[in-house]
């Protein structure tokens, strides 16, 4: 496998381009490590070389994926995640620990998170839905990418109308998350669930709209009709009571007023 890895890295370096590298960086707030190879070419290289190694034991292919991930280059991580997804027919329950380790140790931006979770982990939980309980544990992680992963791992199942109860439970846990990438992640998950469960997702949004970040709300209702969007985005006009205390001539006096 080492010769295949070396060959792939040589091709990536050969096709590296400074303009591509600079253009890609604009999509990320954090500094990312890039060769500078266009995504379609990376996908082509991954596919061509997987054809050469697909007969090898899964553990050997996963080991090669691990080596790609250790480099921290975006293109190499995409190849690792493409290969791991291509093995979905051979997944076993024990593979979850491998995927979890990758999320925790090798994901450092939204593109890596979504590529691994949408496809590899998404395929895994469709085959072994009992592991969704592990995703719920991820919602409590201190790692922002693990928390985002808990939501985006269910994006593809959500499009198929699957696991709605679990989706709502994950969103409940992430509802007031302070990280913008996590907010966008669970908002995206609700949006995909709304394709087949529009009423249920709309009811969920309306129930929580007072505390749901506007970023998450906007993502969640993106596919809904205009009238539902308008209702969801409308600010509540209920009366709010504000108390404040003011000292008057040495005495404490409480004032109450209403804001409509």
pTM of the predicted model as reported, rounded to 2 decimal places: 0.89
Q: What is the pLDDT of residue 257?
A: 42
Percent of the chain with pLDDT over 70: 90
Q: Which residues constitute the domain of residue 32?
A: 2-259
Reading the block at residue 118, the tokens are 């949408």
Q: Summarize pLDDT for 105-130 with one digit per residue, the tens.
A: 999 999 999 999 999 999 999 999 99
Q: 181 near 107, Cβ under 8 Å? A: no
pLDDT per residue as tens digits for the range 152-196: 999 999 999 999 999 999 999 999 999 999 999 999 999 999 999
Q: What confidence tier does 251 reach under pLDDT thresholds 50, 70, 90?
A: low
Q: Are 147 and 181 in contact (CB under 8 A)?
A: no
User: Tell me, what's the pLDDT at 187?
Assistant: 98
CATH number at residue 176: 1.25.10.90
Per-residue DSSP letter, 117: I
- In the chain, how many domains are there? 1
Q: Which residues contact 241 (CB under 8 A, 6 or more apart)?
A: 256, 257, 258
Question: pLDDT value at position 246?
Answer: 46
């Amino acid at each position: 496998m080492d010769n295949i890895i070396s060959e792939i890295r040589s091709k990536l370096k050969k096709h590296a381009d400074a303009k591509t590298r600079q253009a890609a960086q604009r999509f990320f707030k954090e500094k990312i490590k890039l060769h500078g190879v266009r995504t379609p070419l990376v996908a082509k290289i991954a596919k061509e070389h997987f054809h050469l190694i697909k007969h090898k034991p899964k553990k050997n292919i996963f080991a090669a994926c691990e080596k790609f991930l250790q480099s921290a280059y975006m293109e190499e991580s995409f190849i690792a995640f493409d290969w791991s997804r291509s093995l979905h027919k051979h997944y076993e329950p024990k593979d979850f620990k491998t995927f979890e380790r990758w999320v925790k140790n090798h994901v450092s931006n939204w593109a890596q998170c979504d590529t691994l979770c949408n496809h590899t982990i998404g395929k895994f939980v469709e085959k072994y839905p009992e592991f969704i309980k592990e995703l719920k544990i991820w919602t409590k992680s201190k790692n922002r990418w693990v928390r985002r992963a808990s939501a985006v791992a269910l994006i593809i199942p959500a499009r198929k109308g699957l696991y709605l109860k679990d989706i709502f439970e994950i969103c409940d846990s992430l509802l007031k998350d302070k990280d913008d990438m996590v907010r966008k992640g669970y908002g995206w998950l609700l949006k995909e669930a709304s394709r087949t469960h529009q009423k249920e997702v709309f009811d969920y949004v309306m129930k929580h709209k007072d505390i749901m970040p506007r970023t998450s709300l906007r993502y969640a209702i993106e596919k809904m009709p205009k009238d539902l969007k308008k209702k969801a985005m409308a600010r509540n006009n209920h009366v709010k009571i504000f108390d404040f205390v003011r000292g008057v001539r040495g005495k404490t006096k409480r004032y109450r007023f209403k804001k409509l």
